[in-house]
Structure 1
């Protein structure tokens, strides 16, 4: 985010750990030995605000459309429906924090201490909830397609289970965001909202938890579930299976492309937090800039979620056309071609219609 998180200042004569309130240290290297980061500050001021506002505008439209479609045209009948609605809400809440961080990047110091903690906590809660909900969607699709008999047997309890699972996701996201609330503060001198860990071990643990819960866990779940789904689809004698496999490839590919670069940087920062291995000023500045770029790329997932998880489905596209027709955007309602994908049971098509059909 614009308040480049959790960096430490260093000197070139000692390896003592000394957490700072900002990554934009503005000291004279020659006189004090501290790394001057005015270049990072300048990059943030010019790069982040337009990027954040663009992501906000693109993402908010798609996710609000999903909420509207569920409210007016589509009844919530399956676990996927519950997860998609929760995912859209989480994306909306997450995206709504971006304009504030854009303003903070431009002007600095717009938050008080409490608002700084609150804003960073809201950001983390919705970040983790989005990622965990993607894992839930993967598991639901795996059960619906690979374990079709089990899916039919639990159909009566499906909504209750999905609501309870969503509740667990939100509670887990709140717990994972607690470090942000505890260690974030507004530094008036540096005019930034930053996360300041009390010691390097706590900082390293915080990074490790973020990478594990925010990338490796959901990525492992997605790889397992979608691999089993592809194996099942390859056994189906239908042309539509190739389209379904392409959709799966897009889902996994987008997740890796948007999330892997940022989490790789987090791993580097976690290792540096433990050993203070990076002592070169230019390397530190490059790492800060790389953090901003890769984290911004990670935010693109909130824009792409509606396309990957909802509007790829025939039902969602049909309902969207109804909305456009209602507003006079189109004159005739185009009836989507019905899919010919045949799985092992009708309930599979119903449960995963927004994903494969």
Structure 2
């Protein structure tokens, strides 16, 4: 149903028309349920990935250092999922401080991933393309550690302004929302600047670097280097496949005002699907990392060690029980022999 009304009670097609659309598909309940599933997969996958990296991997390796920080970034983002799930299934019930904290954690998890992926791509570009670049292993490690620290500092600084702006608002039906201001040229300018510097600019850098990397790798026969480049490329591609459509829809929403319920529903459907796709990224990196045969072997070794320790405990307990039973049997036989009358 489409109702178009103006403040004076007349009907018009001007910019002041307000549309009241009924029977729009409820994506919020679906989003909340899917966020709970993403939470479970992300916690399991990223914690296992951290264990594999810390126990079996050499963290002096630059790529492993970046992947370790990416796993931490995904876990920071994952912390926000229970709040968003409750928000979409019900409404915001956590208060103003939690609203600001969850928004800050969301921004930190998102933008730290972007910066880390960009730094990892630039590292691959220097290693593969700029082969004559004066580089030592220690200098490369220091640069990687500095890039990781910069990623966290920049993402935290970017989260401050958003955390300050958001607040809990009460609506006419006594429901609470956690939202930031959506009107004003200053708000739009700040949003465009932040998204341009922390999303689209890194995307352009990554496209440039990988164009040069792929051109160089295809001209060589170094299979080990090719495997590393492909692994990093898959991780970077997964990020922009998940988050790219969501940011594009946000930009479209800021410049395009739909007219009519059908146009509003299409934009709302596109936003909801892209939103779910973007939030699902936090459980992608462990899956992509486990595509490596060596990583799968390390994970199986980790799980096997746990099973082996449990089996050893069970075997030890079984052996102890057997020893006790044998001792009791011997003692019982000895007692019987002592009680037999002598001839």
Asked if Structure 1 and Structure 2 have the same fold, meaning a TM-score greater than 0.5 normalized by the shorter chain, the answer is yes
CA RMSD, 1 decimal: 2.8
Structure 2 residue corresponding to 1:166, chosen from 143, 148, 156:
148
Deviation of 1:289 after TM superposition, in Å, equals: 3.4
Deviation of 1:232 after TM superposition, in Å, equals: 1.5
Larger radius of gyration: 2
Greater mean alpha carbon deviation, residues 99-108 or residues 244-253: 244-253
What 5-or-longer segments of structure 2 have no aligned partner?
A: 8-15, 309-343
Matched, 1:317 2:317: no
Q: Deviations over 1:21-66 (max 9, x none)?
A: xxxxxxxxxxx964446756x7144211221011112222221112
Q: Is the 8 A contact 2:6 2:18 kept in 1?
A: no
SS in 1 for 2:264: helix
Q: Is the 8 A contact 2:76 2:108 kept in 1?
A: no
Structure 2 residue corresponding to 1:193, chosen from 172, 178, 196:
178
Deviation of 1:300 after TM superposition, in Å, equals: 2.3
Aligned to 2:329: none
Aligned to 2:165: 183
Matched, 1:219 2:199: no
Q: Which has the higher helix share?
A: 2
Alignment of 1:334-349 (within 5 A): none
Measured at CA, do residues 73 and 250 of structure 1 come closer, stay the same or move farther in structure 2, by a change above 3 Å?
Answer: closer
Deviation of 1:280 after TM superposition, in Å, equals: 3.3
Q: Is the 8 A contact 1:211 1:266 kept in 2?
A: no
Q: Deviations over 1:282-321 (max 9, x none)?
A: 433432332222021012222212233x334454233212
Deviation of 1:247 after TM superposition, in Å, equals: 4.6
Aligned length: 294
Matched, 1:298 2:278: yes
Measured at CA, do residues 154 and 240 of structure 1 come closer, stay the same or move farther in structure 2, by a change above 3 Å?
Answer: closer
Q: Is the 8 A contact 1:207 1:267 kept in 2?
A: no
Matched, 1:54 2:37: yes
Q: Deviations over 1:234-292 (max 9, x none)?
A: 111366777667656644543343223212211212214xxxx4343443343233222
Aligned to 1:5: none
Q: TM-score, normalised by structure 2?
A: 0.76
Q: Is the 8 A contact 1:179 1:206 kept in 2?
A: no
What 5-or-longer segments of structure 1 have no aligned partner?
A: 1-10, 15-31, 330-357
Q: TM-score, normalised by structure 1?
A: 0.73
Measured at CA, do residues 48 and 317 of structure 1 come closer, stay the same or move farther in structure 2, by a change above 3 Å?
Answer: same
Alignment of 1:38-53 (within 5 A): 43-53=26-36
